[in-house]
Amino acid sequence: MALPNAHALQSWAWGDFKTRWGWQVERLLWTEANLPVAAAQVLRRSIPYTPWSFLYVSKGPTWDYHNPALVTQVLADLENYGYQKSGLFLKIDPDVPMPESPNDYFLELLHQRHWYFSAEQIQFRNTVVIDLTPSADDLLTAMKTKWRYNIRLAERRGVTVRLGTVQDIPTFYQMYAETAKRDGFLLRPTAYYQDVWQRFLENNQAEMLLASVEGQAVAGLILFVFGTTAWYMYGASTEQHRPLMPNHLLQWTAMQRAKARGCTCYDMWGAPNVFDESDPMWGVYHFKQGFGGKTVHGLGAHDYPIKPKLYWAFTVALPKIRALWRSYFLR
């Protein structure tokens, strides 16, 4: 039985990967009539020089969030789990959309049980999602005219896209590091990416796509696949041959690859927090929007303070500690 809202960051492989980078992992399962109805993969990390731990359910729990009784039970059990594990606080980040009404039962329940919208949104809260169930022609038709033109331009100008392998990881990393420097996002150690990319590629839970011009790789992406969803999790590009629009052809190829694998949803993994040109993600969002997807506003991460006074001290009152906290826990 497949659980709803399952995410790659709740997969067994992701948990195993995180254990090699300083985290402990415990997997919780809720059943009814011997069938699974909810699950939570909890990452736990000790807070240096304290007896407490930080607990994080990355893009989880996995549950039917329309079921009030189930949600109430899962939250209660997670709260108790946090106390048992000497947590300072527990963070959840369920992959569910923000309710349209501020009076929605889910938001009210979180408030009643003292879960707070987190100041530290570790994962992207919002995203762009493409429904892959239409035909290829219909998917193209749903794109903006310029995007269709750029895909065809790339094909005419000799851009080719191929599947990458584990042996291509150094090439991809080099482009990824260039992208991080250009766009100003966090770059972890090389070994971190080697570990996660190799693990998921070898498990057939990811695909690497490389766009080349005259045999030179100029852009790439890595798709994570879990259930019926594919996530555009990592993207990389160089400054070479950008006028040939390799990234447009790369995204279109990724959509087709995901569809061929039986995926019905292509998640482009990230959209702005503020939907105007002041947001640093605005340019990337404009690019993603052109492929005909729907912008999804997510619920976002919520924290349950197990030690309320210390929680507020660590996360609100001491911004320098927050900065150190974030750099430590995002490793």
CA distance 82 to 85: 5
Task: Judge residue 156's burial from the number of C-beta atoms within 10 Å of its C-beta, 0-12 exposed, 13-18 middle, 19 or more buried.
Answer: exposed
Q: What is the pLDDT of residue 320?
A: 61
Is the pLDDT at 289 greater than 70, yes or no?
Answer: yes
pLDDT, mean of residues 283-296: 96
3-class SS string, 179-212: HHHHHCCCCCCHHHHHHHHHHHHHCCCEEEEEEE
Higher pLDDT, 101 or 181: 181
CA distance 329 to 46: 10
Amino acid of residue 327 = S
Mean pLDDT calculated for residue range 22-37:
96
| pLDDT the model gives residue 55 | 97
Mean local confidence (pLDDT), 249-255:
98
Q: How far apart are the first and last CA of the chain?
A: 33
- Distance CA(307)–CA(6), nearest Å, equals 30
Mean pLDDT across the stretch 227-252? 97
Rounded Cα distance between 276 and 319, Å, is 26
Phi, psi of 195 (to 5 degrees): -65, -55
pLDDT given for residue 21 in this prediction: 95
Q: Give tens-digit pLDDT for 71-86.
A: 999 999 999 999 999 9
CA dist 128 and 268 (Å) reads 5
Predicted confidence (pLDDT) at residue 324 exceeds the cutoff of 70 = no
pLDDT average, residue stretch 59-69 = 95
CATH of 127-296, one of 3.40.50.300, 3.40.140.10, 3.40.630.30, 2.130.10.10: 3.40.630.30
Q: Is the pLDDT of residue 315 over 80?
A: no
Mean pLDDT of the 294-319 span: 88
Give the pLDDT score at 103.
Answer: 79
CA distance 127 to 298: 8
For domain 8-123+299-329, which architecture applies?
3-Layer(aba) Sandwich (3.40)
Q: In this structure, is the dihedral angle defined by the CA atoms of residues 19, 166, 224 and 271, taken in order, positive or negative?
A: positive
> In the sheet where 294-296 sits, what is the strand order?
159-163, 206-213, 216-226, 229-237, 265-267, 127-131, 294-296
Distance (Å, rounded) from C-alpha 230 to C-alpha 205? 9
Q: Is residue 167 predicted with pLDDT exceeding 60? A: yes
Q: Which two tokens stand for residue 313?
A: 């001290």
Average pLDDT over residues 301-311: 94
**Which residue ranges does the chain devote to CATH 3.40.630.30?**
8-123+299-329, 127-296
pLDDT at position 14: 97
- Is residue 228 within 8 A of residue 192, CB to CB? The reply is no
pLDDT of residue 331 exceeding 80: no
For residue 175, give the 3-state DSSP assignment.
Answer: helix
pLDDT bucket at 274, cuts 50 / 70 / 90? confident
